[in-house]
Amino acid sequence: MALWCENMSLPPRVLVAPRPSGANGQGNILLLRHPKLEEETQYLFTDGQLHEFNWFKERYGSWFLGDYVCEDGSVYYCTLVDPIFILLPLFEAARMSNGKDLGKFRQLDEILYIEGYPGYQ
């Protein structure tokens, strides 16, 4: 009898995320720039909603996943994020304002093109 976790290259992890209600039951993982830290952050896009991945780990703990024990006890969870918080820093930078100049108008596809981040396309 084969275990569900056999032939996995990485150890199983625990993820708490919303269940997609769409027809195919799938979501997309996007790599976007964090609005404050400006570093790569993974987001889950499903059913027209954006969720940020977060990670939490107690000092001591484990998870029992069927017959498998996940020894590190960490958990990944998704929290709902309003997309405007992701986009506001992009719009502010796209204005190219300096001093008394309020900035310039730019096309949306030009604003959302960010080198190294295909998730914005």
Round to whole Å and give the CA distance between 113 and 48.
21
The H-assigned helical ranges of the chain are 83-94, 108-111
Q: How many domains does the chain have?
A: 1
List the domain range (segments joined by +) for residue 104: 15-120
3-33: per-residue pLDDT in tens?
A: 444 556 667 777 787 777 766 767 888 888 8
Round to whole Å and give the CA distance between 32 and 95.
20
Q: Look at residue 1 and tell me whether its pLDDT is greater than 50.
A: no
Domain annotation covers residue 104 = yes
Domain annotation covers residue 101 = yes
26-69: per-residue pLDDT in tens?
A: 788 888 888 888 888 889 888 888 999 888 888 888 878 778 77
Domain annotation covers residue 5 = no
